A and B are shown apart, each in its own frame.
Chain A
């Protein structure tokens, strides 16, 4: 069975500093990987996704992530964060199942950007 572990529940960082949010997964089959962002009292918004091809994926708002199959990781990075990046970030893993796709979400990492 697939699982997703977000290694940090909270990440405080100063504005304009780089940040990395870590995500590890386990699965017995090929997977598709996603990062979503959630602002307070809103739904989740897709940041980026890895389906196949290049292991470095670029998303919206200057975020990127790298798929590392040997380490089963999909860490999210941004070289310089802004106050507006303060939000909850969720890593998700999707694998094909008999009924279509089965997707599970990590517990989330709260990014707090300080001035």
Chain B
């Protein structure tokens, strides 16, 4: 069964450092999402791509966060500089835009700890 791949699974960094997360969606899925999940809360959308275009980045803190999906396949989320409050799980998901209802398939996530 096809899966969404993410790396790294865990990342520990110091504040003010730069970090990057990678996501490879299920093959053929045009829509890709990056979520941030704070412990004990539900996922919150950071950015949504349709192919290589950003559809929604209204909740992305653009002064420090950036995301790209250059060829419309895999994607990278970057934080520079990291702050203590960025400690969270970062989830990537993908969906097939031809399916109704936006069923999303999630990767295992990257747990970020900022010291």
Give A contacts to B, CB under 8 Å: 32, 34, 36, 41-46, 49, 51-52, 90, 94, 99-108
Total interface residues on B, CB under 8 Å, equals: 29
Chain B, Cβ-Cβ closest to A103: B102
Q: Which 10 A-B pairs have the closest CB atoms?
A: A32-B101, A101-B102, A43-B106, A105-B42, A99-B55, A94-B102, A44-B106, A51-B101, A43-B108, A107-B42
- On whether the beta carbons of B100 and A51 are closer than 8 Å, the reply is yes
- On whether the beta carbons of A32 and B56 are closer than 8 Å, the reply is no
Given known A32-B101, A43-B108, A51-B100, contact A100–B42 (CB-CB < 8 A)? no
Provide the bound-state CA to CA distance between A102 and B89, in Å.
Answer: 21
- On whether the beta carbons of A43 and B4 are closer than 8 Å, the reply is yes
Most chain A C-beta atoms within 10 Å of own C-beta, residue among B42, B91, B97, B103: B42
Of A34, A51, A99, A105, the residue contacting B56 (CB under 8 A) is A99
Given known A44-B43, A94-B102, contact A99–B109 (CB-CB < 8 A)? no
Provide the bound-state CA to CA distance between A28 and B10, in Å.
Answer: 39
- On whether the beta carbons of A108 and B48 are closer than 8 Å, the reply is no
Shortest beta-carbon distance, B31 to chain A, in Å? 6
Provide the bound-state CA to CA distance between A93 and B107, in Å.
Answer: 20
Of B40, B42, B100, the residue contacting A32 (CB under 8 A) is B100
B50 at interface, CB cutoff 8 A: yes
Provide the bound-state CA to CA distance between A90 and B89, in Å.
Answer: 15
Could you list 29 examples of A-B contacts with CB < 8 Å? A41-B111, A42-B108, A43-B4, A43-B6, A43-B91, A43-B106, A44-B93, A44-B106, A46-B103, A46-B104, A49-B101, A49-B103, A90-B42, A90-B43, A94-B102, A99-B50, A99-B55, A99-B56, A100-B48, A100-B50, A101-B95, A102-B56, A103-B45, A103-B104, A105-B42, A105-B44, A107-B42, A108-B41, A108-B42
